Amino acid sequence: MRELPTPLSVSCLEDLGWGLFHDRQLSLLPEGEHSPARVIDVHRSRLHLVAPGIDTSLPPPGNVDNGPVTVGDWVLLDRSQQKIVGLLERSSLFRRKAPGTGRDVQLIAANVDTLLIVSSCNLDFNEARLERYLAIGREAQVMSIVVLTKADLCDDPSEYVKRASRLSPGLLVEAVNALSRTSLSCLDTWLAKGQTIALLGSSGVGKSTLSNTLRGMDDLATQAVRSDDDKGRHTTTSRQMYRLPGGSWIVDTPGMRELQLTDVQTGLDDVFAEITGAAKECRFGDCTHDAEPGCAVRAAIESGKIDADRFSRWRKLVREEAHNRESIAERRARDKSTGKLYKKIISETQRKKGRDI
Query: What's the pLDDT at 329?
Result: 44
Q: Does domain 93-252 have CATH number 3.40.50.620?
A: no
Query: What's the pLDDT at 345?
Result: 56
pLDDT in tens, 268-327: 777 788 888 888 889 898 898 988 889 999 999 999 999 888 888 888 888 877 766 665
The CA dihedral of 325, 326, 327, 331, to the nearest 10 degrees, is -160
Query: What's the pLDDT at 1?
Result: 47
Query: What's the pLDDT at 233?
Result: 42
Identify the CA nearest to 186 among candidates 145, 232, 153, 224: 145
Its pTM stands at 0.71
What is the residue extent of each domain of the chain? Answer: 13-87, 93-252, 272-325, 330-357
Q: Does domain 272-325 have CATH number 1.10.10.10?
A: no
Query: What's the pLDDT at 350?
Result: 59
**Separation between Cα atoms, residue 57 and residue 166, nearest integer Å:** 44
Output the 3-class SS for 156-208: CHHHHHHHHHCCCCCCEEEECCCCCCCHHHHHHHHCCCCCEEEEECCCCCCHH
**Regions in the chain scoring below 70 on pLDDT:** 1-9, 32, 97-104, 218-238, 253-266, 323-357
Q: What is the CATH number of domain 13-87?
A: 2.40.50.140
